[in-house]
Each structure stands twice: as structure tokens, then as C-alpha cells.
Amino acid sequence: MKQTVLEFHGVYKEFTSAGGRLQVVEDFSLALAPGEIAALVGPSGCGKTTLLNLAAGILRPTRGRVSVGAGVRLGYVFQEPRLLPWKTVEENIRFVQEGLFPGSRGAALRRQILEQVGLTVFRGAYPRELSGGMKQRVELARALAVQPDLLLLDEPFKSLDGEAKGELQQLLKAAHRQAGFAALLVTHDPDEAVLLADRAVVLSPRPARTLQELDLQASRGRSGWEVAAAIRVLLDQAG
């Protein structure tokens, strides 16, 4: 059997609420090998965050199976920042490191990552003192600070302007080259998928199904914008 970090096997997810039932994920399958990055691209509201929450174990599938490899460590950049308001930037990061790297190793890691995401001067600031983009950076820093085997990224660069976005995309690429984590990246931006992922999974409108999987590695020889254009066409046809 091929080793996987994360596997979705015929997954269905349905929400039941007062308004009735809502089918959000339909027969979704995906296997992610160590070090592999897959992009989930799909129209707004189709169920992308739900897929990440299933991978994180926050949600259970209604039908099918989601399995995460034994001993796989997770990092999750949430769509909306989930920082503890009573902790500073650095304390927020230390909070998730406590069980893993309690001592000076964690401190060194923290310092290095804060430097990389450009938050060194803000390490003593509280979340309410930060802009949306800066909170997003803290989210990313926190996720990297546990040295994850699997990184879940829910539109991690959305509240950043062009320059900062490019800078952090390069940072993520460099961290990936160095640490070799697998990642599931939710994005609206086909160019971002082409830049960062090995594979793009194009999703249908709700309920999310796989419309098409594109191997971006094989297509890297071709120009990136060609592939990005192909993803756009697929999204347009679907939405």
C-alpha cells in the first residue's frame, strides 16, 4: 500500500439544521502523499472549508472515511484568524508548541519563524492591535511553528496586498523545500495554485465533487498562465 498522509475515501458530508438538510460534500476522494501539495479550487460556498475541517478531524463525514496517517502532526491556517485574544503574538505561537517543543528549541524556532513572516517587532502585540493581514501572518507562523507533516491552508493569503502576498507565497515555498510537509491549500486564485501546488483539484459548486484533477508538476514545463487559464475555464463552466 502506498503511504499517505491524508486520505479521503468516498466522503459525503451533510449538515442537518433547523432549515433541513444540506449536502455539502459528495463522493469526494483524495490521497495526499508526504510532501505533496494539493490545491482545492472551487466556487465560493462550495464546501472547501468543510473539506479542511474534515481533514482536521473537527468534522466527521456522514459517509465514507477520512484518515490521517499515524503520528502525522497538523498545522491549520484557518479562514478567519483564531487567535487567543488574551495572548500576545509570541504567546499564541508558544501555546501550540507547549506539548512539542517546550524549552529553548521552541523559542529558537519561534524567533526564526517570526523573523521570516516579518512579525518580530509585533511579537509582544495582542491580536486586537493587528490588522487582518498581520493576523493572517500569525496564523501561518503558528502553523509552521509546530513543524507540521500536514498543513491545512484556508485561503491563507487573502487579506494581504500584492507585494506581501508574493513575499509570503515565496516564504511558504521555501519552508516547504526545507521541511517537506504535505499541504492542502484552499484558494480562489488559479495562479496561486499553479505557483504552489503539485496538483489542483477543481471542485463543483455545492455539494463539492471533484470536477477535474490537474497535474501541475507535469505541466510546469508549459507556461503557468496556460494552466491557470485552464482552471479558470473549468471554474467558469461549473459556476
Partner 1 sequence: MTAFISKHRQELRRILAGLLGPAAVLALWSGLARYYHPMILPSPGETWRALVTLWREGSLLGNVAITLRRTVWGYALALLAGFSLAALTKGTAFWRALLRPILAIVQIIPPVVWTILAVIWFGVASQSAPIFLIFMVTLPLSFANTAASLDSIDGRLVEMAQVYRCSRRQIVTQLYLPALLPQLANTVSVGFSFAWKAAIFAEFMGSTSGVGFLLSTANSNLETEKVFAWVLVLIAVMLVCEYGLLLPLKHRAERWWA
Ligand X SMILES: Nc1ncnc2c1ncn2[C@@H]1O[C@H](COP(=O)(O)OP(=O)(O)OP(=O)(O)O)[C@@H](O)[C@H]1O
Contact footprint for Mg ion (CB under 5 A): 49, 79
Shortest spacing between CB 194 and partner 1, in angstroms = 28
- Binding to partner 1, residues 99-128 (CB under 8 A): 99, 128
Q: Name the CA radius of gyration of the chain, rounded.
A: 18
Question: What does the binding site for ligand X look like in residue numbers (CB under 6 A)?
Answer: 15, 17, 22, 24, 44-50, 79, 206
Q: Between 90 and 198, whose beta carbon lies closer to partner 1? A: 90
- How far is residue 199's CA from residue 194's CA, in Å, rounded to a whole number? 8
Q: Between 70 and 86, whose beta carbon lies closer to partner 1? A: 86
- Binding to partner 1, residues 206-225 (CB under 8 A): none
Q: Between 84 and 108, whose beta carbon lies closer to partner 1? A: 84
- How far is residue 211's CA from residue 239's CA, in Å, rounded to a whole number? 11
Grid coordinates representing 104?
529553548
Task: Among 96, 211, 229, 238, indicate the residue that binds partner 1 (CB under 8 A).
Answer: 96
Q: Binding partner of residue 58 among ligand X, Mg ion, partner 1, none, CB under 5 to 8 Å per kind?
A: partner 1
Which amino acid, 127?
P
Which amino acid, 233?
V
Residues 6+ apart with CB under 8 A from 97: 106, 109, 110, 145, 146
Shortest spacing between CB 211 and Mg ion, in angstroms = 18
Shortest spacing between CB 91 and partner 1, in angstroms = 9
Shortest spacing between CB 31 and ligand X, in angstroms = 21
- How far is residue 166's CA from residue 157's CA, in Å, rounded to a whole number? 9
Shortest spacing between CB 160 and ligand X, in angstroms = 16
Residue with cell 509546530: 146
Count Cβ atoms below 10 Å from residue 169 Cβ, excluding itself: 17
DSSP states of 95-150 as a string? HHHTTT--SHHHHHHHHHHHHHTT-GGGTT--GGGS-HHHHHHHHHHHHHTT--SE
Stretch that binds partner 1, among 8-16, 95-103, 105-113, 178-186 (CB under 8 A): 95-103
- How far is residue 198's CA from residue 218's CA, in Å, rounded to a whole number? 9
Q: Which residues pair with 66 in a beta bridge?
A: 8
Q: Binding partner of residue 47 among ligand X, Mg ion, partner 1, none, CB under 5 to 8 Å per kind?
A: ligand X
Shortest spacing between CB 237 and Mg ion, in angstroms = 21
Q: Between 116 and 204, whose beta carbon lies closer to ligand X? A: 204
- Binding to partner 1, residues 137-166 (CB under 8 A): 146
**Contact in structure between 7 and 31 (CB atoms under 8 Å):** yes
Q: Parallel, antiparallel, or unpaired: how do β-strands 199-203 and 37-41 relate?
A: parallel
Contacts with partner 1 by CB under 8 A lie at 56-58, 73-76, 78, 82, 84-87, 95-96, 98-99, 128, 146
